[in-house]
Amino acid sequence: MKTAKSSQQIPAYSRYRRQIRLPEIGLEGQEKLRSASVLVVGAGGLGCPALLYLIAAGIGKIGIVDGDRVELCNLHRQVLFSEKDVGELKSEIASRKLKNRNSDVKVTSHNFWLSNDNIMETLAGYDIVIDGTDNFPTRYLINDACIFMEKPFVYGSVYRFEGQLSLFNDEQPDGTRGPNYRDLFPEPPPAELVPDCSDAGVMGVLPGIIGTMQANEVIKWITGMDGLMNGRLLIFDAVQSESQLVSIPKRIDNPVTGENPSITRLIDYEQFCNPANGDGVDEISTKELKNWIKTGKDFRLIDVRQPEEFEVSHLGGELIPLEQIDYIAESIRSDQPVVFYCRTGRRSAEAIRKLNPHVKFNNLYNLKGGMESWKRMSD
């Protein structure tokens, strides 16, 4: 005959007693939390609050994947960091601060960007994933890798005053898997329809709300509670303080899990999410640009972002904001390639479109994926 677990079997019982008193969790649920492992991809606006509540709940093992460094413009929403952390690796700072909050939890920092080369090995050590990323290539990479490895993941995203939340690829009672990100978005929207976060902005408290909801979803999943967001998308309006739930049906034309899947292994997600433009904008990849720099090729490099963005980080070259780009048409030489870049490649592509009617040379190139791609490829 089995006996109930005593409070002494749960580390630091007094720390967790308020949630242990909940019948839906109890001693058994707390033990499940202690035995669970969670990977948080992105220690940013979503990842920071999610990490704070996961560590507080007593998750046994937490992994943090992020190859970025803390910037001053992060601090209005990335609540784990302070001014003295600017310039430091996010994953290392987050790991150190979390360990100070709860020594019961094993925290591992992965100081890199997820890629085709490392994602399978990284995900293998965890039960469930939180997607706290802010770019389409990594979102689709996480989605497909989780499908191939049969792991659930909690999706979250924010834009201006709107946030979204869902649980993807969760195992169903019949052994099948629930809807995934590609059932919601089979393909990424065209780059020109995706506003740059630097342009659109985001209310600082919104990632805190959605990130906390992501942690809540993980705790529910681990402890076996009802009400999971599997097959549902929550859309939250921070201005009106209203939310709505949308059902996510499984698509028969899903390219990974549909009736006739066309994607059976990891693909080139930079190419998938940033295909070459068909409107006369030539592109150069991060790899090609690195080779130009390495070989000493003569070319002109222009950053079309705003001065405050340039001050935070840049690739070098000239700073000519998009709204001033028309003025440089006469200075473009026919014998020198010109590479334009911004955060994601959207604004720099627009710069080339604005110049094309005034420049008769075919030597204007957009850095594909912008600085976000550069950072991921650099790691």
Residue range 88-138, pLDDT digits in tens: 999 999 999 999 999 999 999 999 999 999 999 999 999 999 999 988 999
Residue range 30-64, pLDDT digits in tens: 999 999 999 999 999 999 999 999 999 999 999 99
Is the pLDDT at 209 greater than 90, yes or no? yes
What local confidence, expressed as pLDDT, does residue 7 receive?
43
Whether residues 302 and 202 share a domain: the answer is no
Is position 16 within any domain? no
Domain that holds residue 96: 36-272
At residue 2 the predicted structure's pLDDT band, cuts being 50, 70 and 90, is very low
End residue of a domain, out of 228, 246, 272: 272
Catalytic residues, which ones? 197, 342
Is position 29 within any domain? no
Whether residues 235 and 331 share a domain: the answer is no
Total number of domains in the chain: 2
Mean pLDDT of 197-210: 84
Whether residues 80 and 196 share a domain: the answer is yes
Mean pLDDT of the chain: 90
Is the pLDDT at 352 greater than 70, yes or no? yes
Whether residues 298 and 249 share a domain: the answer is no
Mean pLDDT of 7-18: 71
End residue of a domain, out of 219, 240, 272: 272
Could you give the CA distance from residue 147 to residue 143 in angstroms, rounded to a whole number?
6
Whether residues 236 and 208 share a domain: the answer is yes
Could you give the CA distance from residue 283 to residue 287 in angstroms, rounded to a whole number?
12
Is position 194 within any domain? yes
Is position 14 within any domain? no
Report the CATH number that the domain containing residue 215 is assigned in CATH: 3.40.50.720
Is position 25 within any domain? no
Is position 9 within any domain? no
Could you give the CA distance from residue 171 to residue 221 in angstroms, rounded to a whole number?
11
Q: Which of 223-227, 300-304, 305-309 has the lowest mean pLDDT?
A: 305-309
End residue of a domain, out of 272, 307, 331: 272
Burial state string for 157-192 with b = 16 or more CB within 10 A and e = fewer than 16: bbbeebbbbbbbbbeeeeeebbbbbbbbeeebeebe
Mean pLDDT of 71-97: 94
Whether residues 293 and 260 share a domain: the answer is no
Whether residues 317 and 228 share a domain: the answer is no
Is position 349 within any domain? yes
Model-level pTM?
Answer: 0.82
Mean pLDDT of 138-151: 97
Is the pLDDT at 278 greater than 90, yes or no? no
Whether residues 221 and 285 share a domain: the answer is no
Whether residues 286 and 262 share a domain: the answer is no
Mean pLDDT of 290-314: 90
CB 303 within 8 A of CB 342: yes
Whether residues 267 and 283 share a domain: the answer is no
Whether residues 57 and 116 share a domain: the answer is yes
Is position 8 within any domain? no
